Amino acid sequence: MTRPTARGTALLAVAVATYLAARIVGTWELYFMAFAFLAAVGVCWALVLATAPHLHVVRTVTPGRPVAGDPVVLSFRVRNGSLVPGLQVTLVDATGELGGRDCFIEVESLGSRSERVAKSGPWLARRGIHRLPALMTVAEDPLGLVRARRRLGNTFGLTVSPRLAHLSSCALYAGMGTRRAGRRRRLPTVDASEFRGIRPHNPGEPLNRVDWKATAKTGSLMLREMEDATDGGVAVLLNGAAPCVFGEPPETNFEVAVQAAGSIADYALRSGHPVTLLLPENEWRPIRLSPDAESRRRLLAILAGATPRGLSQLGPSLRALVANTRLSARTQSLTLVVLSLDRGLVRALVALQEEGSHVSVVHVADGPLAGPASTAESLNLRQALSAAGVHYLAVRRGDDLCAALSIRPESHHARAR
């Protein structure tokens, strides 16, 4: 939409007043001035009307795949595709929620068929999926008498992944080779499928599991039937109810919980183990990730959209969540990352551990330090977990996450004593 600016409107008012004065006084100089003022607005109007449709703006982000804490710079390449020079361009709310107070990007006079690059930033990227609005351009003539507003492009999405700790070992899985109730328990390997039997080949099935000896004996194609290895992977549940979140964004205990859950899942994927994610954003539906590079990228994208949601009292619902996830007895690890620990949750964890599941919990305590000593209630809960063999780790804001997740959990110290 093209319209005069406040300055242009004032000049039009002066032109009308000068014309009326010329009619009263009758001097031709006043007529000349009135028409000159009017012509100036008209020429500027024609300039903006002719050049504004030929504006092109390309918005780019550096780096292209930012991680939380990275300095992010937005670049705007503004091109004047017309032969008429002199246009002034302002990009309104170009940076969206990333830029804070830096809402306007001004580009000086554009020459004929020329382009300029304007940059905004850097800012420290915050984890999340950010939606930058479509660019609103305001094109003005050099005198600032007429402007045209146009919306260019579409909404721009920017995904900022959480910064994960690169774990070379994980304390939660350190003792999974110990014996419990006469059984040796360990994380499965990539090829941890178990042989179930031999059956005839059905049309359309792949031939990578053909048992050639059985085929030679029977005269027809026979397949080795294997147990799916994904049934024995690692399940990671992230629960971060909003009432349990402390701190100012992005320095909250929930951000630490997201980093912890992602670091554990990333470690399992890099170690060759399938991962099942349980997040409240996904209505607790299991998200299956296989141990490959694409799943690791998908993990980052999923955790980028995690928000402080969940159950304030997770304990009563934990058994149902595990059942819906179809965690079988072969599932070797269920890891919970939570912001609060209560008696109901401890009872549920102990029950799952006694049923044969390997259960561990990462508790992200509120505040930089939860106090010099744990309260009696917290100590009792931790002792109950340790006595049942549930691995427990406490992580606080400001901790070195890599070191915190790599140390031996309390349950191992208790057993050593």
All structural domains of the chain:
1-160 (2.60.40.10), 171-185+229-416 (3.40.50.410), 195-226 (no CATH)
| Mean residue pLDDT across the chain | 77
Q: Give the list of residues 6+ apart from residue 29 with CB closer than 8 angstroms, or none.
A: none
Q: 225: pLDDT confidence band, cut at 50, 70 and 90?
A: low
Contact 2, 147 (CB under 8 A): yes
pLDDT at 376 over 80: no
Helix (H) or strand (E) holding 137: strand 135-140
Neighbours of 37 (CB within 10 A): 20
Query: Residue written as tokens 């000159």?
Result: 36
Q: Three-class SS of residue 1? A: coil
Contact 345, 377 (CB under 8 A): no
b/e map 326-363, b = 16+ CB within 10 Å: ebeebbbbbbbbbbbbeeebbbbbbebbeeebbbbbbb
Q: At what angle do helices 343-354 and 315-324 cross, to 10 degrees?
A: 40
Confidence at residue 352, expressed as pLDDT on a 0 to 100 scale? 78
Contact 95, 72 (CB under 8 A): no
41-52 residue pLDDT tens: 888 888 888 888
pLDDT at 192 over 60: no
- C-alpha dist (Å) from residue 325 to 257, 303, 318, 355: 21, 19, 11, 16
Least confident of 302-306, 318-322, 332-336, 341-345: 318-322
- Work out the burial of residue 373: count CB atoms within 10 Å of its CB; fewer than 13 is exposed, 13-18 middle, 19 or more buried: exposed
pLDDT at 248 over 60: yes
b/e map 63-83, b = 16+ CB within 10 Å: eeebebebebebebebbbebe
Q: 18: pLDDT confidence band, cut at 50, 70 and 90?
A: confident
Q: 326: pLDDT confidence band, cut at 50, 70 and 90?
A: low
CA distance 281 to 126: 19
Beta strands in 15-103 (DSSP E): 55-62, 71-80, 87-92
Q: Give the list of residues 6+ apart from residue 242 with CB closer than 8 angstroms, or none.
A: 308, 309
Parallel, antiparallel, or unpaired for β 2-4 and 333-338? unpaired
Confidence at residue 229, expressed as pLDDT on a 0 to 100 scale? 43
pTM for this one? 0.71
pLDDT at 1 over 80: no
* Peptide bond before residue 63 is cis, with ω within 30 degrees of 0: yes
Q: 101: pLDDT confidence band, cut at 50, 70 and 90?
A: low
Residues in the chain: 417
Residue (of 7, 17, 3, 11) closest to 38 by Cα position: 11
Contact 104, 92 (CB under 8 A): yes
pLDDT at 177 over 70: no
Q: Three-class SS of residue 8? A: helix
Tokens of 285: 């539906």
Q: 145: pLDDT confidence band, cut at 50, 70 and 90?
A: confident
Tokens of 129: 């999926």
Query: Residue written as tokens 């549930």?
Result: 390
Quickly list DSSP for 181-239.
TTEE-----TT---EEEEEEPPTT--STTB-HHHHHHHSS-EEEEE--GGGGSEEEEEE
Confidence at residue 228, expressed as pLDDT on a 0 to 100 scale? 46
Which is more confident, 252 or 110? 252
- Work out the burial of residue 411: count CB atoms within 10 Å of its CB; fewer than 13 is exposed, 13-18 middle, 19 or more buried: buried
Q: How open is the CA angle 64-129-69, to the nearest 5 degrees?
A: 60
Confidence at residue 184, expressed as pLDDT on a 0 to 100 scale? 37
Neighbours of 278 (CB within 10 A): 22
